[in-house]
Amino acid sequence: MASGVKVCDHVKELYDAMKVVKNDADQKERIRLVVFEICNGEIAAAPGKTFREKDLEGKDVYEVFVQQMYPEKPCYMLYDCHFETKECCKKEELVFVMWAPDTASIKEKMQYASSKDCLKKILTGIKHELQLNDNADSHDKYGFLEKIGKGAHVINLEGHCV
């Protein structure tokens, strides 16, 4: 179902910057989380909602991710998630999330649901895609880890043991 919503050109640039992290680049400038919203018929990065490594210093990155899910406002998020499995395998994987809280208006939820595919066309190669609908979904760290770990036992999320 098409919504007529377009994706801002800047979204592709942000995605490319997150997807291709160069070893010689300043790691503090690395983009870790972007919140996208629909505004004026266009999907764009929400103002002030592009978080770089330097912005998250001393913070629990997963908690910052969860805090972006407002109770009555849908959004999309692209999260550069760092975790480690029991097999001592460190991973850095992009997670695409559609947050559509049950408390949001039906009109907004439908607009985000029907516009998701046009955004996904730009986000090629995303390994994990999640849809979260309530606080139980968004605050369930173990459920989140089970989904991104795909059967592997995750022992560390963003530098914190779980």
Least confident of 100-114, 119-133, 144-158: 144-158
* Each residue's pLDDT tens digit, 56-108: 999 999 999 999 999 899 999 999 999 998 887 888 999 999 999 999 999 99
Domain containing 86 equals: 6-161
CATH of the domain at 136: 3.40.20.10
Q: Is the pLDDT of residue 14 over 80?
A: yes
Q: Is 1 part of a structural domain of the chain?
A: no
**What confidence tier does 22 reach under pLDDT thresholds 50, 70, 90?**
low
Distance CA 57, CA 154 (A): 22
Q: Is the pLDDT of residue 52 over 50?
A: yes
Q: Is 157 part of a structural domain of the chain?
A: yes
Question: Domain total for the chain?
Answer: 1
Structure tokens at 7: 């994706």
Q: Is 134 part of a structural domain of the chain?
A: yes
Q: Quick check: 53 and 29 in contact, CB under 8 A? A: yes
> What pLDDT is attached to residue 86?
85
Full-model pTM: 0.92
Average pLDDT, the chain: 90
* Each residue's pLDDT tens digit, 132-143: 998 777 778 888
**What confidence tier does 1 reach under pLDDT thresholds 50, 70, 90?**
very low
Exposed, middle or buried by CB within 10 Å (0-12, 13-18, 19+), for 124?
exposed
Percent of the chain with pLDDT over 70: 96
* Each residue's pLDDT tens digit, 106-119: 999 999 999 999 99
Q: Quick check: 51 and 33 in contact, CB under 8 A? A: yes
Q: Which alpha helices (DSSP H) does 73-140 contain, by range? A: 106-122, 135-138
